[in-house]
Copies of this chain bind each other. A is one copy, B any other.
């Protein structure tokens, strides 16, 4: 349907949540699920998948939890999404040359290639660290709307 799945969306939320924590913080599934409004049991599966994909590490047992395998500035939005959704191909024929035998003479093919390139460029150029910063700005903005004076002391 040319739309990301809930899996992808939830994965981004989870990674973003962890990215916003102080380094070394262990996050619990229930905590992430509640904060990011993701069904708890569903998120469990997604976290497992993210661990397997190598983006997240986990510790089992009491005082266990999840934490990022890399620093937030080293994780792009694309990586977060593709870790769960798999590589993105706007049309099936983009998977690889020859996947569709029409790609040799189909004039639409190069349009999809360009569209995909531009889409990826956007997702590649946004790191989790940047998103956390953006979120802080948004928070500051909505706070300003409520209390127009006195900028917040901590940023």
Which residues from chain A sit less than 8 Å from chain B, CB to CB? 1-5, 8-9, 12, 16, 37, 77, 85, 88-92, 102, 104-108, 110-111, 114-115, 118-119, 121-123, 126, 131-132, 134-135, 138-139, 142
Query: What residues on B are CB-neighbors of A106 within 8 Å?
Result: 135, 138
Cβ B2 vs Cβ A3 within 8 A? yes
Contact of A5 among B1, B9, B77, B119 (CB under 8 A): B1
Q: Give which listed residue, B85, B126, B139, contacts A2 with CB less than 8 A.
A: B85
- Oligomeric state, in number of copies? 2
Q: Which residue of chain B lies nearest to A86 when distances are taken between CB atoms in the complex?
A: B1
Which residues on the B side are within 8 Å of A131 (C-beta)?
A: 107-108, 111
